[in-house]
Chains A and B, each alone.
Chain A
């Protein structure tokens, strides 16, 4: 399946699900337009645009010049992006589990190590940056700006 066609089909399914959800909203009497009206109009528009996207994608001819242009330049490093997302997901989950200070030290250290050059001699520098970032943000936000950062098992 072509990419944009796939996106269009996914959008249509998403619109269908939300249209059904919008139908579950109870409409109050004496009001000309109920709370489900606006989402339904938006969903119909979105579904129409999804059909347009699919049609445009299916009618489009392949462009060989663009294919050639695409291969120019360094290839994107999706491994680093995937690592970034996984480590960040772990951080968000860890915030309420082990608390802000511990989660942040671990996150900064893990991410900078995993996306960096992975040189053991750089490790002390990365540890200092991880602890320094955590300490600085903790002091500024928790102590000075009174933001109560997430608590957890370790803090």
Chain B
């Protein structure tokens, strides 16, 4: 605890504090603008953190994450368009409440619920990340290999689209890491004689391309439609009584705690993310309500459920990232990349050997929430003109920042080409129904899976150890169960619908 409080104080050092505030504000603005996701915002922030000390850079990113998770509610409530996928369910009740003449109540219920849900999830973050990291310290290469396989199988199984497409995306991600030198002997492979491929594809340009370029191109399909003209004019009353709003939230303790737990759990599961958390929490709130028929008409319950869960999801994602070095979602994937750039090896040793940075991240997470309330409140004064920025102005600026983010990694133009190639691939994957999250997770875990497998085989050639060592066997069994459960679920859904679960056919 001493370390936690001392790093808390360190965060009040002017440069650190300003960086955290700038991160939160960037997150709120990015989250509020429809079409700019939290992942995109954190990608755009990344090049600014290259020159910062490690903790300052990571605190900035945590600021973006916390701010972005709450920022999406502004456009959800005022325009009826969720700023980020994490705020989809907020739209269901936030927009009707705002249209009924209470935009201030709708927005502030969301902001305070985000803050309270996020802070509640902070406690399991500190306790869970540290304890899980100590548990993972006892893991050998067999357990790590099995853990990564379990992670991949969960992510592929949870893909909304077809199971086989989720699996192909994750295995393709593993294949991407095979290009270049092998991780143990540094022997070049799959290079086709091209020098650039000797070092393999750099991770960050892939990530920026897959999520950044593909998202912008998908948005261009809809450019010029719907967004303009919806929602409010520039003059509307946002004044509320804050004590009354907070009392309203605490008057629903079951909804608040249940939604926080849903968000936390979804965050801990790798690569599911806030988009699933808010919808699941909303669904649970509706099912558990005495008046489910009123959901969607502008009641506070839906806003509280959605917003407390999406900020609690941040805490859950950070637990997985800090304890195991596995990203909980795309945002923590970028943060993992940032850790590596700063010379820090992610994994269970991170919390032990870099305790000041780890506890600094905990402290930044806690401090970011009250700061988010203040900064989002200030942003509300200018929010509407900003969130209504047209796509043809926004897209080129975001693309320029994505290009700089890829290029600045080591100042070579090949990184920009990597960004372009994987961006185009990401867009094609979206259009053909392949999920992106398993691909990115495969890219992140590829080297680690290979290294741990070879280490295990070099320690003992008995491959049965993967099944007979308790933790390793347990995790492999969970992988099979997760896979089998997913198959059964899809089969049942297809049977109920009376049609196969795949997408509609499209001819070439």
Contact = CB atoms under 8 A, between A and B. Distances in A.
Contacts of A141: 47, 404, 408
Among all A-B residue pairs, the 7 with the closest Cβ atoms: A116-B392, A35-B182, A76-B221, A39-B178, A66-B504, A108-B396, A111-B396
Interface string A14-57: 00001001100110100111011011001101100110110011
Nearest to B216: A84
A28 B505 contact: no
Given A21-B192, A85-B424, A74 B171 contact: no
Given A60-B502, A81-B217, A81-B221, A28 B508 contact: no
A100 B395 CA distance: 18
A147 B182 contact: no
B505 A3 contact: yes
B51 interface: yes
B397 A133 contact: yes
A56 B162 CA distance: 10
Interface in A100-125: 104, 107-108, 111-113, 115-117
A63 interface: yes
A45 B411 CA distance: 35
Given A36-B189, A61-B500, A107-B400, A49 B175 contact: no
B455 to A, nearest CB: 10
Contacts of A129: 393, 397
B190 interface: yes
B220 A77 contact: yes
Q: How large is the interface on A (under 10, 10 to 19, 20 to 34, 35 or more residues)?
A: 35 or more
Contact of B48 (A84, A89, A108, A145): A145
A32 B461 contact: yes
Given A63-B500, A67-B504, A81-B217, A38 B224 contact: no
B116 interface: no
A22 B189 contact: yes
Given A32-B458, A53-B165, A112 B190 contact: no
A112 B396 contact: yes
Contacts of B401: 137
B507 to A, nearest CB: 7
A115 B392 contact: yes
Contact of A46 (B171, B413, B432): B171
Contacts of A146: 51
